[in-house]
Structure 1
Amino acid sequence: MHDFFGAIIALRLPWLTFFTIVRPIADIICLILQVTLIGWVPASIWAVYSLSQYKTDQKIKEALGSRQF
């Protein structure tokens, strides 16, 4: 269910997605894109992609964190 709401936020408020995954420079760039009507679509696509990459990175960290050498 959390993935669904994250995707909705990424589509509606793309800059907020970058704020939640702690990427401040991307957040500002995305907000500037979102201000323009034409830039909203690329900002949304970028936010959805970045959110999926962030979740993949978190899963990899969890998997590698449980391994002991």
Structure 2
Amino acid sequence: MLLAILIPGLSMMLNGHFLKGIVCFILQFTILGWIPAAIWGVASRSQDLARKRHDEMLATMQAGRRTA
């Protein structure tokens, strides 16, 4: 999460969002744009984690149906 705040463009690129990461780097190079870029990076990271938890829960539920 710290990486998403300090270097949001790199955080997005590491999560597979290459175009978003480039736009975020461009936005980050301005002083006023760094704050929205950091917020965008944290929001993107949180959304990716929520999607991962959701997918894991669905997989667990489907595995439970197969055994029942």
Q: TM-score range by the shorter chain?
A: 0.7 to 0.9
Taking the aligned partners of 1:11 and 1:54, their CA distance within structure 2 comes to 15
Give the alignment's TM-score, normalised by structure 2: 0.86
Q: Shift of the alpha carbon at 1:65?
A: 1.2
Which of 21, 31, 42 is the matching residue for 2:36? 42
TM-score (normalised: structure 1): 0.85
Q: Which residue of 2 aligns with 1:32?
A: 26
Question: Where in structure 1 are there 5+ consecutive unaligned residues?
Answer: 1-6
- Percentage of matched positions with identical amino acids: 35
Q: Structure 1 residue runs of 4+, over 3 Å off?
A: none
Aligned-CA RMSD value: 1.0
Q: May I ask how many residue pairs the two structures share in their alignment?
A: 63
Q: 1:47 is aligned with what amino acid? A: G
Letter in 2 for 1:65: A
C-alpha deviations, 1:26-68, integer Å up to 9, x for none?
A: 0110000011111000000000011001000000000101222
Where do 5+ consecutive residues of structure 2 fail to align?
none
In structure 1, how many angstroms separate the alpha carbons of the residues matched to 2:12 and 2:4? 9
| Greater Cα radius of gyration, structure 1 or 2 | 2
Partner of 2:6: 12
Structure 2 Cα separation of the partners of residues 66 and 16 of structure 1 = 31
